[in-house]
Amino acid sequence: MPRRTFDHIPGLFLDTDYFVPEQCSELVRQSLQLYERLEATVGRAEGPLEKAHIPQPAYVRSAEHNLKSAEHFARVALVEEKQRAIRCEYFPRYGEDGHALAYFQRNANLPDFVARDLVPGVHGMVAAEGFVGLDQELTWKLTMNFYKRVNGKVAGFPFHVDIPANGVVTMILNVQREVLFQIAKEEVVTDIPLPVGALLLLSGESRYVWKHRVLPTDAPAGGTANAIERVSLVLGFQ
């Protein structure tokens, strides 16, 4: 994998050209279709959303940037090809206004297009980098992030550290719209622009010690309020 490493951030790798534009377009199309299915299912559900306790290290919390420890989600069941049932936890609002998130745990719950088009290539990449064996069986976790247009901005994601249950590495796949990623430890903050098609991998210290966020960006001209303006996919494994 052609990559950039960061001497002061152990375990952080960046490939700016992991996906070609055609792959990104197809991943966005499939993701938006799934988003519509999630929204429709939640819209038909009865009763309030459930509360989720999402612990964060104390140093992540501040008056300006604080990922709440209590978010609200719906348990959603979807039917994929060949009548395969999958389940996820869907958060219509996560972290801040304009950010929706779907969390799929374990291989049996991965959407078809992720299992078919993403996992094999990513497995080969992490095997080539020495994280796992090529034939090693992995339990995958998928987080789908949907960022909406809010008050003329494309929403972001405040500072946080991914919980251990998300996997031993965090792989952020930026498939729609360039964004500024920031990673921080104490007073050291590093800006990393993520172009469309980039894969950013956090392992070791960068995964467990450094906090990270995605900054809001100016929304493109035109468009409608609450429209999805950016999709990112995050893979992890155990």
User: How far is 196 from 231, CA to CA, in rounded Å?
Assistant: 10
pLDDT of residue 3: 79
- Proportion of the chain above pLDDT 90, given as a percent: 79
The answer to whether residue 58 scores a pLDDT higher than 90 is no
The answer to whether residue 211 scores a pLDDT higher than 80 is yes
- Average pLDDT over every residue of 30-57: 84
User: How far is 152 from 226, CA to CA, in rounded Å?
Assistant: 10
Residue type for position 194? L
User: How far is 145 from 158, CA to CA, in rounded Å?
Assistant: 13
pLDDT tens figures, 104-129? 999 999 999 999 999 999 999 999 99
- Average pLDDT over every residue of 69-82: 88
pLDDT tens figures, 155-209? 999 999 998 889 999 999 999 999 999 999 999 999 999 999 999 999 999 999 9
CATH number at residue 132: 2.60.120.620
Strands 85-91 and 70-79 come out as: antiparallel
| Residue-averaged pLDDT of the chain | 91
Global pTM value: 0.91
Task: pLDDT band for 56, please (50, 70, 90 cuts).
Answer: low
Rounded to a whole number of angstroms, the CA Rg of the chain reads: 17
pLDDT tens figures, 131-142? 999 999 999 999
- Put the strands of the sheet holding 157-160 in their side by side order: 157-160, 211-214, 179-185, 188-194
Number of folded domains that form the chain: 1
* 18 and 126 Cβ atoms separated by less than 8 Å: no
The answer to whether residue 69 scores a pLDDT higher than 60 is no
Per DSSP, what are the bridge partners of residue 76? Answer: 88
User: Which structural domain, as residue segments, surrounds residue 204?
Assistant: 4-237
Token pair in block for residue 78? 């979807």
If one compares 70 and 17, the residue with the highest pLDDT of the two is 17
